[in-house]
Structure 1
């Protein structure tokens, strides 16, 4: 993917992720809709920012061809990314939604699991739609 397409891919992903997060928060929180929308937007911006920063740091430590990274390195990468992200989002969600850290932790776990499933589906669909437009 070229840069323009990566930006488009990420933008579309984040729009859907925000909507999915708002819907999820509607089921688990009695907070005002403005709060849910704000939390979803900030989590999205934080995810994009953290993704960029984290991958820069990770790639400085784990040099070499990315294609040669084994399963263990990939599990480490994903685990450290999520842990680092939770360190920001749990306190933020607890404060913004006026809830406990435990509740915020479980809200974040719920969001993470839903977005994980969404990411798999989104990328699968995107790749197929992309073939239709790019190969034609």
Structure 2
């Protein structure tokens, strides 16, 4: 445990908390995707809702694995002081995460929907835009709530 410039103890996320964070992130994202984006994608692509829902679940599983690996490495490189991260660093975090998701998601989308690279690229721009904004807002909100709970005695990182 270290301290930041404002002398508040910095508690790194435990592996258990990272898993909780990842599951919460994906559960909220899936709810949004299924309720809003999957319907829009069905209307735009004409694909069956079940196929689009299946794709959303598969992409969510890929995202959970990538999230666990990426955030562990990101925290190791940029420190565990998540509450004091600048907007610039948060945007960089979101862009780097989404770049990795593009690499992992393209083949899956192309295979499931039988689309060309260019069709998937156009479709993925919408998903990447959504997830970039969502990731920044979700993680910033999570960091604020986590910081308040940790420093007001609400829970410890190991309890999650």
TM-score w.r.t. the length of structure 1 is 0.70
Alpha-carbon deviation of 1:51? Answer: 1.6
TM-score w.r.t. the length of structure 2 is 0.61
Match of 1:53 in 2: 69
Alpha-carbon deviation of 1:117? Answer: 6.1
Q: Could you tell me whether the CA contact under 8 Å between 2:22 and 2:68 is conserved in 1?
A: no
Q: In proportion to residue count, which structure has more helix? A: 1
Alpha-carbon deviation of 1:93? Answer: 0.7
Q: Could you tell me whether the CA contact under 8 Å between 1:18 and 1:44 is conserved in 2?
A: no
Alpha-carbon deviation of 1:6? Answer: 5.2
Matched, 1:74 2:90: yes
RMSD: 3.2
From 125, 128, 131, the equivalent of 1:109 is 125
CA distance in 1, matches of 2:99, 2:26: 23
- Range with bigger deviation, 5-14 or 104-113: 5-14
Q: Could you tell me whether the CA contact under 8 Å between 1:17 and 1:115 is conserved in 2?
A: no
Q: Could you tell me whether the CA contact under 8 Å between 2:110 and 2:120 is conserved in 1?
A: yes
Alpha-carbon deviation of 1:106? Answer: 1.5
- Distance of aligned partners of 1:24 and 1:47 in 2 relative to their CA distance in 1, 3 Å threshold: farther
Q: Could you tell me whether the CA contact under 8 Å between 2:42 and 2:52 is conserved in 1?
A: yes
1:16-46 C-alpha deviation (Å, 9 max, x unpaired):
1331332122122133333212111111222
From 65, 77, 81, the equivalent of 1:65 is 81
Greater radius of gyration (CA): 2
- Distance of aligned partners of 1:76 and 1:24 in 2 relative to their CA distance in 1, 3 Å threshold: same
CA distance in 1, matches of 2:134, 2:80: 30
Matched, 1:18 2:47: no
- Distance of aligned partners of 1:45 and 1:67 in 2 relative to their CA distance in 1, 3 Å threshold: same
